[in-house]
Structure 1
Amino acid sequence: MQIGELARKTGVSARALRHYEDRGLLIPERTSGGYRDYSEEDVTRVAQIKAMIAAGLSTATIRRYLDCARSGDHGTTLEMCPDLRTELDLIAESLTAKQAHLRDTQQRLEAITLFP
Protein backbone atom coordinates (compact mmCIF):
# COMPACT_ATOMS: atom_id res chain seq x y z
CA MET A 1 0.00 0.00 0.00
CA GLN A 2 1.16 3.53 -0.62
CA ILE A 3 1.75 6.18 2.02
CA GLY A 4 -1.71 7.75 1.68
CA GLU A 5 -3.46 4.47 2.38
CA LEU A 6 -1.23 3.75 5.38
CA ALA A 7 -1.96 7.23 6.67
CA ARG A 8 -5.72 6.60 6.38
CA LYS A 9 -5.51 3.18 8.02
CA THR A 10 -3.44 4.39 10.96
CA GLY A 11 -4.71 7.93 11.49
CA VAL A 12 -1.16 9.24 11.11
CA SER A 13 -0.29 11.91 8.58
CA ALA A 14 1.92 11.09 5.61
CA ARG A 15 4.35 13.67 6.98
CA ALA A 16 4.57 11.80 10.29
CA LEU A 17 5.11 8.52 8.43
CA ARG A 18 8.00 10.08 6.50
CA HIS A 19 9.38 11.35 9.84
CA TYR A 20 9.19 7.82 11.27
CA GLU A 21 11.09 6.62 8.21
CA ASP A 22 13.72 9.35 8.63
CA ARG A 23 14.19 8.23 12.25
CA GLY A 24 14.60 4.57 11.25
CA LEU A 25 11.33 3.48 12.87
CA LEU A 26 9.57 2.48 9.67
CA ILE A 27 11.36 1.00 6.67
CA PRO A 28 9.05 0.53 3.70
CA GLU A 29 9.85 -1.44 0.61
CA ARG A 30 10.17 0.57 -2.61
CA THR A 31 8.47 -0.08 -5.92
CA SER A 32 10.45 -0.08 -9.15
CA GLY A 33 9.21 3.49 -9.59
CA GLY A 34 10.61 4.50 -6.21
CA TYR A 35 7.30 4.76 -4.38
CA ARG A 36 7.05 3.59 -0.78
CA ASP A 37 5.26 0.25 -0.52
CA TYR A 38 3.92 -0.56 2.94
CA SER A 39 2.65 -3.91 4.20
CA GLU A 40 -0.06 -4.81 6.69
CA GLU A 41 2.74 -5.38 9.20
CA ASP A 42 3.55 -1.67 8.88
CA VAL A 43 0.02 -0.87 10.11
CA THR A 44 0.85 -2.74 13.32
CA ARG A 45 4.27 -1.08 13.50
CA VAL A 46 2.73 2.39 13.24
CA ALA A 47 0.25 1.50 16.01
CA GLN A 48 3.19 0.48 18.19
CA ILE A 49 5.05 3.71 17.40
CA LYS A 50 1.95 5.77 18.19
CA ALA A 51 1.47 3.99 21.53
CA MET A 52 5.09 4.52 22.49
CA ILE A 53 4.99 8.21 21.55
CA ALA A 54 1.76 8.63 23.53
CA ALA A 55 3.58 7.08 26.52
CA GLY A 56 6.19 9.83 26.33
CA LEU A 57 9.02 8.00 24.59
CA SER A 58 11.22 9.89 22.15
CA THR A 59 11.82 8.57 18.66
CA ALA A 60 15.42 7.79 19.65
CA THR A 61 14.19 5.65 22.55
CA ILE A 62 11.54 4.04 20.37
CA ARG A 63 14.19 3.12 17.80
CA ARG A 64 16.22 1.34 20.50
CA TYR A 65 13.27 -0.59 21.91
CA LEU A 66 10.77 -0.98 19.07
CA ASP A 67 11.66 -4.66 18.77
CA CYS A 68 10.40 -5.05 22.36
CA ALA A 69 6.89 -3.87 21.37
CA ARG A 70 4.13 -6.44 21.14
CA SER A 71 0.59 -5.91 19.90
CA GLY A 72 -2.33 -7.94 21.14
CA ASP A 73 -5.92 -7.81 22.27
CA HIS A 74 -5.06 -5.20 24.90
CA GLY A 75 -3.09 -2.88 22.61
CA THR A 76 0.65 -2.38 22.55
CA THR A 77 2.85 -3.60 25.37
CA LEU A 78 6.61 -3.68 25.88
CA GLU A 79 8.62 -6.71 26.88
CA MET A 80 11.33 -5.76 29.31
CA CYS A 81 14.30 -5.86 26.98
CA PRO A 82 17.74 -5.20 28.49
CA ASP A 83 18.08 -1.59 29.73
CA LEU A 84 14.44 -0.77 28.95
CA ARG A 85 13.33 -0.83 32.62
CA THR A 86 16.09 1.64 33.52
CA GLU A 87 15.11 3.98 30.68
CA LEU A 88 11.41 3.82 31.59
CA ASP A 89 12.21 4.50 35.25
CA LEU A 90 14.20 7.59 34.23
CA ILE A 91 11.28 8.85 32.18
CA ALA A 92 8.90 8.24 35.09
CA GLU A 93 11.24 10.11 37.48
CA SER A 94 11.41 13.04 35.06
CA LEU A 95 7.61 13.15 34.82
CA THR A 96 7.29 13.08 38.62
CA ALA A 97 9.73 16.00 38.93
CA LYS A 98 7.85 17.96 36.28
CA GLN A 99 4.54 17.33 38.06
CA ALA A 100 6.01 18.59 41.34
CA HIS A 101 7.31 21.69 39.61
CA LEU A 102 3.89 22.35 38.04
CA ARG A 103 2.17 21.92 41.42
CA ASP A 104 4.60 24.40 43.00
CA THR A 105 4.08 26.87 40.18
CA GLN A 106 0.31 26.55 40.47
CA GLN A 107 0.48 27.18 44.23
CA ARG A 108 2.64 30.28 43.72
CA LEU A 109 0.19 31.54 41.08
CA GLU A 110 -2.75 31.01 43.44
CA ALA A 111 -0.85 32.78 46.25
CA ILE A 112 -0.28 35.93 44.21
CA THR A 113 -3.81 36.08 42.80
CA LEU A 114 -5.69 35.93 46.12
CA PHE A 115 -7.43 39.11 47.16
CA PRO A 116 -7.81 40.04 50.87
Structure 2
Amino acid sequence: MYAISVAAELTGLDPQTLRLYERRGLLTPARTGGGTRRYSDDDVVRLQRISALVAGGVNIAGIAQILALQDLNGELESDLSHLRSENARLRHTGPGNEHLVATRGRGARQR
Protein backbone atom coordinates (compact mmCIF):
# COMPACT_ATOMS: atom_id res chain seq x y z
CA MET A 1 0.00 0.00 0.00
CA TYR A 2 1.25 3.42 -0.96
CA ALA A 3 0.63 6.91 0.33
CA ILE A 4 -0.78 9.37 -2.19
CA SER A 5 2.64 10.98 -2.69
CA VAL A 6 4.21 7.63 -3.59
CA ALA A 7 1.32 6.64 -5.88
CA ALA A 8 1.60 10.02 -7.59
CA GLU A 9 5.34 9.53 -8.09
CA LEU A 10 4.87 5.99 -9.41
CA THR A 11 2.31 7.15 -11.97
CA GLY A 12 3.80 10.53 -12.85
CA LEU A 13 0.58 12.24 -11.79
CA ASP A 14 -0.01 15.08 -9.37
CA PRO A 15 -1.63 14.14 -6.03
CA GLN A 16 -4.46 16.57 -6.86
CA THR A 17 -5.11 14.59 -10.04
CA LEU A 18 -5.40 11.39 -8.00
CA ARG A 19 -7.92 13.12 -5.73
CA LEU A 20 -9.86 14.34 -8.78
CA TYR A 21 -10.00 10.82 -10.22
CA GLU A 22 -11.33 9.56 -6.90
CA ARG A 23 -14.00 12.30 -6.78
CA ARG A 24 -15.02 11.36 -10.33
CA GLY A 25 -15.34 7.71 -9.32
CA LEU A 26 -12.50 6.35 -11.43
CA LEU A 27 -10.91 4.60 -8.46
CA THR A 28 -11.48 4.18 -4.75
CA PRO A 29 -8.29 3.82 -2.74
CA ALA A 30 -8.44 2.22 0.68
CA ARG A 31 -8.44 4.49 3.72
CA THR A 32 -6.70 4.19 7.05
CA GLY A 33 -8.64 4.66 10.27
CA GLY A 34 -7.60 8.31 10.14
CA GLY A 35 -8.87 8.72 6.58
CA THR A 36 -5.52 8.73 4.79
CA ARG A 37 -5.67 7.32 1.26
CA ARG A 38 -3.70 4.13 0.65
CA TYR A 39 -3.14 2.99 -2.94
CA SER A 40 -2.63 -0.67 -3.82
CA ASP A 41 -0.61 -2.06 -6.72
CA ASP A 42 -3.93 -2.56 -8.55
CA ASP A 43 -4.77 1.11 -7.96
CA VAL A 44 -1.40 2.12 -9.43
CA VAL A 45 -2.03 -0.04 -12.52
CA ARG A 46 -5.50 1.51 -12.86
CA LEU A 47 -4.01 5.01 -12.57
CA GLN A 48 -1.50 4.16 -15.30
CA ARG A 49 -4.37 2.96 -17.50
CA ILE A 50 -6.29 6.18 -16.80
CA SER A 51 -3.21 8.24 -17.61
CA ALA A 52 -2.77 6.43 -20.93
CA LEU A 53 -6.42 7.04 -21.83
CA VAL A 54 -6.12 10.74 -20.96
CA ALA A 55 -2.99 10.94 -23.12
CA GLY A 56 -5.02 9.34 -25.92
CA GLY A 57 -7.58 12.12 -25.70
CA VAL A 58 -10.35 10.27 -23.85
CA ASN A 59 -12.40 12.45 -21.49
CA ILE A 60 -13.25 11.50 -17.90
CA ALA A 61 -16.76 10.26 -18.77
CA GLY A 62 -15.32 8.07 -21.52
CA ILE A 63 -12.65 6.75 -19.18
CA ALA A 64 -15.31 5.87 -16.61
CA GLN A 65 -17.21 3.86 -19.24
CA ILE A 66 -14.07 2.11 -20.47
CA LEU A 67 -13.01 1.16 -16.95
CA ALA A 68 -16.49 -0.09 -16.07
CA LEU A 69 -16.52 -2.27 -19.20
CA GLN A 70 -13.03 -3.58 -18.46
CA ASP A 71 -14.08 -4.42 -14.90
CA LEU A 72 -17.19 -6.20 -16.19
CA ASN A 73 -15.13 -8.08 -18.76
CA GLY A 74 -12.80 -9.27 -16.00
CA GLU A 75 -15.75 -10.49 -13.95
CA LEU A 76 -17.23 -12.30 -16.95
CA GLU A 77 -13.88 -13.95 -17.72
CA SER A 78 -13.68 -15.12 -14.11
CA ASP A 79 -17.24 -16.48 -14.28
CA LEU A 80 -16.47 -18.26 -17.54
CA SER A 81 -13.36 -19.85 -16.06
CA HIS A 82 -15.35 -21.02 -13.05
CA LEU A 83 -18.11 -22.46 -15.25
CA ARG A 84 -15.58 -24.27 -17.43
CA SER A 85 -13.96 -25.80 -14.34
CA GLU A 86 -17.34 -26.85 -12.97
CA ASN A 87 -18.32 -28.27 -16.35
CA ALA A 88 -15.12 -30.33 -16.48
CA ARG A 89 -15.65 -31.52 -12.91
CA LEU A 90 -19.21 -32.62 -13.65
CA ARG A 91 -18.14 -34.43 -16.80
CA HIS A 92 -15.57 -36.39 -14.81
CA THR A 93 -17.89 -37.41 -11.96
CA GLY A 94 -19.30 -40.20 -14.03
CA PRO A 95 -22.12 -41.18 -16.34
CA GLY A 96 -25.58 -39.85 -15.73
CA ASN A 97 -24.52 -36.26 -15.03
CA GLU A 98 -24.79 -35.03 -18.60
CA HIS A 99 -28.15 -33.41 -17.80
CA LEU A 100 -26.46 -31.36 -15.04
CA VAL A 101 -23.86 -30.07 -17.46
CA ALA A 102 -26.53 -29.14 -20.01
CA THR A 103 -28.68 -27.44 -17.37
CA ARG A 104 -25.78 -25.43 -15.95
CA GLY A 105 -24.72 -24.37 -19.45
CA ARG A 106 -28.18 -23.07 -20.32
CA GLY A 107 -28.37 -21.09 -17.07
CA ALA A 108 -25.05 -19.42 -17.75
CA ARG A 109 -26.11 -18.32 -21.23
CA GLN A 110 -29.34 -16.77 -19.97
CA ARG A 111 -27.53 -14.09 -17.97
Fold match (TM-score > 0.5): yes
TM superposition shift of 1:67: 3.7
Q: How well do the aligned residues superpose, as a CA RMSD in angstroms?
A: 1.7
Structure showing greater Rg = 2
TM superposition shift of 1:39: 0.2
Distance in 1 (CA, whole Å) between partners of 2:57 and 2:22 is 19
Distance in 2 (CA, whole Å) between partners of 1:48 and 1:69 is 11
TM superposition shift of 1:64: 1.1
Give the equivalent residue in structure 2 for 1:2: 3
TM superposition shift of 1:26: 1.5
Give the equivalent residue in structure 2 for 1:18: 19
Distance in 2 (CA, whole Å) between partners of 1:33 and 1:52 is 32
Distance in 1 (CA, whole Å) between partners of 2:4 and 2:64 is 20
Distance in 2 (CA, whole Å) between partners of 1:69 and 1:10 is 20
**If the length of structure 1 is used for normalisation, what is the TM-score?**
0.57
TM superposition shift of 1:68: 4.2
Percent identity among equivalent residues? 42
TM superposition shift of 1:65: 1.2
Distance in 1 (CA, whole Å) between partners of 2:70 and 2:50 is 9
Give the equivalent residue in structure 1 for 2:101: none
Distance in 2 (CA, whole Å) between partners of 1:33 and 1:43 is 21
**Ranges in structure 1 where 5+ consecutive residues have no aligned partner:** 71-78, 80-116
Aligned amino acid, residue 23 of structure 2: D
**Ranges in structure 2 where 5+ consecutive residues have no aligned partner:** 74-111
Aligned amino acid, residue 44 of structure 2: V
TM superposition shift of 1:69: 4.9
**If the length of structure 2 is used for normalisation, what is the TM-score?**
0.59
Distance in 1 (CA, whole Å) between partners of 2:56 and 2:69 is 15
Give the equivalent residue in structure 2 for 1:50: 51
Aligned amino acid, residue 39 of structure 2: Y
Question: Higher strand fraction: Structure 1 or Structure 2?
Answer: 1
Tell whether the 8 Å contact from 1:48 to 1:69 is kept in structure 2 after alignment.
no
